[in-house]
Structure 1
Amino acid sequence: MKKQPKEYSVPAIDKTVAILNALTDRHLSIQDIHSTLNVPKSTAFVILNTLEHYSLIQKTPEGKYRLGHGVLRWGIGYMKSMDLVAIARPHLERLVGDTPYTAHLAVAEKDKPVYVDKVEGSGFVRFATKIGQTQPLHQSGVGKALASGMTDDEIAAVLSAELAETPDKIAKAIDKLMDDVRYVRQYGYSIEDEEFEEGIRCIGAPIRNENGHVFASISVTALNKDLPATKFQQIGQSVKETADRISAELGYIGEAPASPGDVPNRGNGS
């Protein structure tokens, strides 16, 4: 008989999920949760207190609990990301189909890029990136593209938190990212030139929703030999045009960023 794979779970998380699932149907008190879900009252109290702190549940005037507005963010984010992936994928396939590049699609989650799709080109190299992986805002093509939709204060706050363990690097990183953001706003694409990993380059571009808000981005990732600095403008324009087409399908009808003219050589940095 074939051996069944071993299942792993965290009891506290199991109980939390059970409580959230139960609250989707009706309002419950701690006693209700204890009796219907067999969760000890003390455990239920701790879980409910934590969920309430994050606005995932809220207490009714009757002393019962119901789902809070915090869960809406998950649901809306899920629906948007699914629509986004379905719309963006054919564009990404065309972008890298006959190239040695890998395309990534990212969304902003707590002001950091998170990969939600990946499309590999026809090359032999396979990059060890995966869906759900986060990237640094200031050292990734998708991150710089997302940062182009943020305010200066937001950028400073994100990098201050991201680099909290190396405070001496914060000011320089903010200045560098602001230069990169100005470049994206002027030319429509970002460049990450071996900043995150030696030998790897990325070019990204922002994706806008129907209101013009930058909420996602795409990028192509390649070995430096396959993406020399002399190709930055050509590939950058292709990535930008792909992002613009995705934005248009999502309902964005505003004026696209200015197209690059004589783009400065950025081979020595992004």
Structure 2
Amino acid sequence: MKKQPKEYSVPAIDKTVAILNAVADRQLSIQDIHTTLNVPKSTAFVILNALEQYSLIQKTPEGKYRLGHGVLRWGIGYMKSMDLVTIARPHLESLIADTPFTAHLAVSEKDKPVYVDKVEGNGFVRFATNIGQIQPLHMSGVGKAIASGMSDEEIAVLLTAELEDAPDKLGRTLEKLMEDVRYVRKYGYSIEDEEFEEGIRCIGAPIRNENGHVFASISITSLNKDLPATKFQQVGEAVRDTADRISAELGYMQQQTMPKGELPRHGNGR
């Protein structure tokens, strides 16, 4: 009779993983961790202190704990090991070949776009973007593209949190983002027209998995002189088509996003 393999357990590691999983779902105080996970407060304090030193968690002003930016390294490493980067890279290279554009691939990490790949064009300017960099949902090409796959209610909640320190800007910013999201849903690509940085424009498009869920996006970044507004449609459709090809390789059955014969118009003269 074949012996069953022994199961080994390290209590301290088990408790650490349990705490990380718990704060991944919601912010928790030491008392919450003690109550929900049955971890002694003294043990929870020691584990939280160690995790905080490695930026795997961070303490909020209210005294609760949430995941820290240190976990992104693991998430990005995992994404790199998946097929997405491998599949998308040749498409991005083809998209920006013989152009001054820079292409980015982003994934949605806790509903925020995070760059996981970057391909440079042949322009003289090199944009200061990095793998692992988080982009704002409401004023980045990749962010608007990812937001197009969310419900209006989800967008409102996320933007409220993103603008927690500037509540006076929420109303107009949400109105503008919803306008941009409706544009992406209709035409298949997003436009970021010098909103994040003066002189820089981006056009993005969503990537879907086999179930049709938007979980990533691509974009091209350009100086405004290399991407005049008259080229938004031409470049936008190229970015959209590239994203569609990546989605198709991931198993998504492509659907038409723009009505035939209809030319896109973008608000504010863009």
Q: TM-score, normalised by structure 1?
A: 0.74
1:160–1:77 distance in 2 versus 1, CA, 3 Å: farther
Q: Residue 189 of structure 1 contacts residue 239 of structure 1 at CA under 8 Å; is this kept in 2?
A: yes
Q: Is contact 1:229-1:267 (8 Å) kept?
A: no
Cα deviation, 1:93-152, whole Å, max 9, x if unaligned, reads 000011000000000011110000000001111000000000000100000000000001
1:193 and 1:268 in contact (8 A); partners too: no
Matched, 1:51 2:52: no
Task: For 2:109 and 2:209, locate their aligned partners in 1 and report how far apart those are by CA, in whole Å.
Answer: 15
Aligned in 2, Cα 1:230/1:158: closer, same or farther, shift over 3 Å?
A: same
Matches within 5 A, 1:134-213: 134-213=134-213
Matched AA of 1:122: N
Shift of the 235–76 alpha-carbon distance from structure 1 to 2, 3 Å rule, reads closer
1:26 paired to 2:3:
no
Change (3 A) 1:240 1:183: same
Q: Which blocks of at least 5 consecutive residues in structure 2 are unaligned?
A: 1-6, 26-35, 39-66
Kindly report which structure 2 residues correspond to 1:74-113, keeping only aligned pairs within 5 A, or say none: 78-79=78-79, 82-113=82-113
Distance in 1, Cα, partners of 2:79 & 2:133: 19
2:269 is aligned with 1:262: no
Distance 1:76 1:197 in 2: 25
Residue 249 of structure 1: aligned partner: 249
3-state SS of 1:116 partner: strand
Q: Which moved more, 1:76-85 or 1:163-172?
A: 76-85
SS of the residue aligned with 1:212? coil
Alpha-carbon displacement from aligned partner over 1:46-73 (angstroms, at most 9, x marks no partner): x5774363379x979xxxxxxxxx99xx
Task: Give 1:171 shift.
Answer: 1.2
Contact 2:183 2:266 in 1 (8 A): no
Distance 1:144 1:53 in 2: 29
Runs of 4+ in 1 over 4 A off after TM superposition: 74-77
Distance change (3 Å), C-alpha of 1:75 and 1:231: closer
CA RMSD of aligned residues (A): 3.0
Amino acid across the alignment from 1:216: A
Q: CA deviation at 1:172?
A: 1.0
Q: Which moved more, 1:251-260 or 1:235-244?
A: 251-260
Deviates more, 1:76-85 or 1:98-107: 76-85
> Per-residue deviation at 1:257?
1.5
What amino acid is aligned across from residue 219 of structure 1 in structure 2?
S
Which is higher, the Rg of structure 1 or of structure 2?
1
SS at match of 2:10: coil
Q: Give the 3 Å change call, closer, same or farther, for CA 224–168 of structure 1 in structure 2.
A: same
3-state SS of 1:257 partner: coil
Q: Which position in structure 2 is the counterpart of 1:7?
A: none
CA distance in 1, matches of 2:249, 2:86: 11
SS in structure 1 at match of 2:82: helix
| CA distance in 1 between partners of 2:131 and 2:267 (Å) | 29
Preserved CA contact (<8 Å) 1:188 1:259: no
Sort the Cα spacing of 1:158 and 1:75 in 2 relative to 1 into closer, same or farther, 3 A.
Answer: closer
Alpha-carbon shift at residue 27 of structure 1 (Å):
1.5
1:54 alignment partner, SS class: helix
Deviations 1:13-69 (A, max 9, x none): xxxxxxxxxxxx722235xx7xxxxxxxxxx97x5774363379x979xxxxxxxxx
Identity level (%) = 67
- Distance, in Å, in 2 between the alignment partners of 1:259 and 1:224 is 28
TM-score, normalised via structure 2 length: 0.74
